[in-house]
A and B are shown apart, each in its own frame.
Chain A
């Protein structure tokens, strides 16, 4: 029942911006886009979420296309500690669970 499609892996150079794509072509008007990451086998870490506007916080920026069918998570200056599995999740605002897919394994290289 995957609602999102992400590339399985990507590499990024340390200090450069990492742009992580996510397709969610069947997203509904009441569904948010959430991004989490998981470093090794630690607990998933919340990064950012948005409904239709672009969002930015201290960790990342989220760019959602106007038709909301895809989004991009931007890590502005990737560090080695950003190496992790990144999950793009679509979620109804009142749905009290998250459905994780396989995510994108991001490797930041020195």
Chain B
């Protein structure tokens, strides 16, 4: 069964450093997403991406965040200058454009900022 894959599974970074989280969405999917979950809190939407541009973003997705599809298979989330409060599990997801547009999630990248 096709799945969304994410790397790394866990990353520890110093505050102020740049971090890139990588994702390979399901191959025939056209919409890509990033969500995050701070420990003990709800899963929160960050951004959606379609046709090489952001289609929607939340208030959390400020100027320190960016997304990119650098090639035909990868989708990345960059955090320019990490803060302690960026420590969270980051989930990549993807979906097709059919009826119901079911969103499928990867297993997550756990980011710890120290």
Residues of A within 8 A of B (CB): 32, 34, 38, 41-46, 49, 87, 93-94, 96-102
Interface residue range, chain B: 20 to 34
Residues 57-111 of B contacting A (Cβ, < 8 Å): 89, 91, 93, 95, 99-108, 110
| Given known A41-B89, A43-B107, A102-B42, contact A93–B99 (CB-CB < 8 A) | yes
Interface of A is mostly: loop
Q: Which of A32, A42, A46, A87 contacts B104 (CB 8 A)?
A: A46
Q: Verify A96–B43 contact, CB threshold 8 A.
A: no
Q: Verify A44–B105 contact, CB threshold 8 A.
A: yes
Residues of B within 8 A of A93 (CB): 99-101
What is the bound-complex CA distance between A96 and B103, given in angstroms? 9
Q: Verify A97–B48 contact, CB threshold 8 A.
A: yes
Residues of B within 8 A of A34 (CB): 102
What is the bound-complex CA distance between A97 and B100, given in angstroms? 12
Q: Verify A97–B42 contact, CB threshold 8 A.
A: no
16 contacting pairs across A/B (C-beta < 8 A)? A34-B102, A41-B39, A43-B93, A43-B107, A46-B103, A46-B104, A46-B105, A93-B99, A93-B100, A96-B33, A97-B45, A97-B48, A98-B43, A98-B45, A100-B44, A101-B42
Question: Can you list, as one digit per residue, whether each of B36-59 has a CB less than 8 Å from chain A (1) or not (0)?
Answer: 010100111100101000011000
Q: Which of A38, A45, A96 contacts B48 (CB 8 A)?
A: A96
